[in-house]
């Protein structure tokens, strides 16, 4: 056993010396796994690491090293095209090899940098067709009107109406469900399984159909790239009849039910944010005063919003309509993004027109456009994708959403900013102050309560000032999602520790 262990160490040393020799002497052929046959070893290369007095290795030992490495990485096992490429690479002069490696490294960095050209190509040409095939096999792309019962209206936007509903079991016919009130009532019971959220695209509104198609495309896209950021998308169908809910030819989008209340719904309550405590944490936190619990709830919401934004931005998508009404709160206390009709995929230029802006003036940043107006119209998708890393470096379009996230933070933390009228006054005052939040604080007549933002040495206020700001000439001047998540508001302070300790003593609401 001792001899075997010593021999193993000796072989490792030989391999290490052999590899280091190849690094110190570029002309050496010591990287033996690049060769289909054993290379010859030049003794003078090895002497760079050991002198003649201490060199106890001979040619036979080094031949054993080559044989050992050949058994570990044998190019004979590679396809012929790879073997040919390796041999051609080895035949290049040293300088050309380094140039080739440097160029390849730069290309790799470029293709994998935000928004990820390489990952985008894999998604478009591999994952998307696979998803289409699986969905067709499972029937998700073949939904029909009769597959659903539509319940109560729960919301309405510019281009669509949102309803609660349920997926009808296969053994229940549509006619039976409509003719038998008991069956329909049972299916639409709040505790029923297979609950869904349905969105009817308004057929009478100009541009609604186009936005419905964009929303469908983005939901499929995110179901592959960042499924945890949005509600599970089940698919779409076109109504084949006209009645009180359906219009023949009208498009409907369907999501798995994860919650029918948005952050805006909760913010309308007088008890916000405490009305979200049991939802966000599952229980009531004891041992922490109400003010600190409210601060924890708001922080947890902001962390989830910014985390989701980071994930969609990493894929090249900018939402362009971040606001409390587009943030659904799930039964498990997760905050998910909804309503992607205004979103744009700047990796390929999807739903992007340079001189057209899609915004809610109460949450839109001062630049108004996700990219400068003078930005050319996007070229065909493959070309646009290849140049998208340059576009992102020059313009940082993801910062558009971060301003909106800052407004959401201000509304949650300052009760007097939650009404539509107060928010409009806030935006007017902020504009008069040059979008400088610190100046606005000295100037405002709204008498806001800054207690939550000023707690913990003012970390919340500092984060707000770095999100709500006008951008500089280089399109910078606002925190990205990744930078915001590293802000002391999230990373420092005893709030996390207090939350953990408080969970040692919990009681259900």
Which phi and psi angles does 462 have, rounded to 5°? -65, -40
* Alpha-carbon dihedral 71, 72, 77, 80, rounded to 10 degrees: -100
Going by C-beta distance under 8 Å and a sequence separation of 6 or more, which residues neighbour residue 127?
Answer: 224
Closest CA to 466 of 437, 440, 442: 437
Give catalytic status of residue 135 as yes or no: no
Per the structure block, which two tokens stand in for 238?
């076109």
Q: How far is CA 120 from CA 132, 314, 343, 353, 382, in A?
A: 16, 11, 17, 21, 10
CB atoms within 10 A of CB 508: 7
**Residue 302 near residue 409, CB atoms below 8 Å:** yes
**Angle of the 420-432 helix axis to the 399-413 helix axis, nearest 10:** 120
**Selected catalytic residue, list 123, 147, 321, 339:** 321
Going by C-beta distance under 8 Å and a sequence separation of 6 or more, which residues neighbour residue 174?
Answer: 145, 146, 168
CA dist 263 and 266 (Å) reads 5
Q: How far is CA 67 from CA 39, 43, 62, 72, 74, in A?
A: 10, 17, 9, 9, 10
Per the structure block, which two tokens stand in for 379?
């070229």
| Beta partners for residue 161, in sequence order | 156, 200
CA dist 430 and 428 (Å) reads 5
- Give buried/exposed letters for 237-271 (b at 16+ CB in 10 A, else e): bebeeeeebbbeebbbbbbebbbbbbbbbbbeeee
**Residue 335 near residue 305, CB atoms below 8 Å:** yes
CA dist 435 and 451 (Å) reads 21
Distance of CA 278 to the CA centre of its chain: 26
CA dist 1 and 17 (Å) reads 24
CA dist 485 and 19 (Å) reads 42
**Residue 338 near residue 356, CB atoms below 8 Å:** no
CA dist 269 and 17 (Å) reads 71
Catalytically active residues are 321
């Amino acid at each position: 056993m001792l001899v075997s262990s010593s021999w193993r160490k000796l072989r490792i040393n030989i391999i290490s010396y052999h590899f280091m020799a190849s690094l110190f002497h570029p002309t050496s052929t010591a990287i033996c796994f690049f060769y289909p046959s054993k290379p010859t070893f030049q003794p003078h290369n090895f002497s760079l690491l050991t002198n003649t007095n201490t060199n106890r290795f001979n040619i036979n030992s080094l031949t054993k090293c080559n044989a050992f490495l050949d058994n570990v990485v044998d190019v004979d096992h590679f396809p012929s095209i790879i073997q040919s490429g390796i041999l051609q690479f080895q035949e290049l002069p040293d300088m050309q090899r380094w140039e080739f490696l440097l160029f390849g490294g730069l290309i790799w960095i470029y293709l994998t940098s935000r928004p990820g050209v390489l990952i985008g190509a894999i998604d478009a040409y591999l994952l998307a067709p696979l998803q289409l095939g699986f969905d067709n096999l499972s029937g998700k792309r073949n939904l029909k009107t009769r597959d659903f019962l539509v319940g109560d209206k729960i919301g309405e936007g510019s281009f669509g109406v949102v309803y609660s509903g349920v997926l009808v079991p296969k053994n229940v016919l549509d006619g039976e469900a409509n003719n038998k009130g008991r069956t329909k009532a049972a299916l639409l019971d709040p505790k029923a399984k297979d609950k869904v959220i349905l969105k009817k695209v308004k057929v009478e509104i100009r541009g609604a159909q186009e936005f419905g198609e964009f929303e469908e495309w983005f939901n499929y896209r995110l179901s592959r790239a960042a499924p945890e950021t949005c509600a599970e998308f089940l698919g779409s169908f076109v109504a084949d009849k006209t009645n009180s809910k359906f219009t023949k030819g009208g498009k409907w989008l369907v999501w798995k039910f994860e919650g029918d209340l948005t952050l805006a719904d909760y913010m309308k309550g007088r008890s916000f944010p405490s009305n979200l405590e049991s939802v966000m944490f599952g229980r009531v936190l004891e041992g922490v005063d109400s003010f600190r619990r409210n601060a924890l709830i708001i922080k947890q919401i902001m962390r989830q919003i910014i985390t989701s934004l980071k994930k969609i931005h990493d894929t090249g998508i900018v939402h362009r309509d971040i606001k409390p009404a587009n943030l659904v709160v799930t039964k498990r206390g997760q905050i998910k993004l909804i309503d992607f009709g205004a979103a744009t995929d700047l990796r390929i230029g999807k739903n992007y027109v340079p001189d057209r802006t899609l915004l809610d003036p109460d949450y839109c940043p001062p630049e108004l456009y996700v990219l400068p107006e003078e930005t050319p119209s996007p070229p065909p998708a493959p070309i646009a994708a290849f140049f998208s890393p340059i576009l992102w470096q020059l313009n940082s379009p993801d910062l558009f959403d971060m301003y909106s996230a800052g407004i959401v933070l201000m509304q949650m933390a300052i009760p007097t900013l939650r009404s539509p009228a107060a928010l409009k006054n806030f935006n007017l005052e902020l504009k008069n102050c040059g979008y400088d939040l610190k100046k606005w604080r000295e100037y405002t007549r709204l008498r806001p309560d800054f207690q939550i933002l000023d707690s913990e040495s003012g970390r919340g206020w500092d984060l707000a000032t770095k999100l709500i700001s006008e951008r500089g000439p280089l399109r910078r001047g606002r925190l990205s999602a990744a930078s915001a998540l590293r802000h002391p508001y999230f990373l420092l302070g005893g709030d996390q520790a207090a939350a953990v300790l408080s969970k040692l003593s919990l009681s259900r609401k």
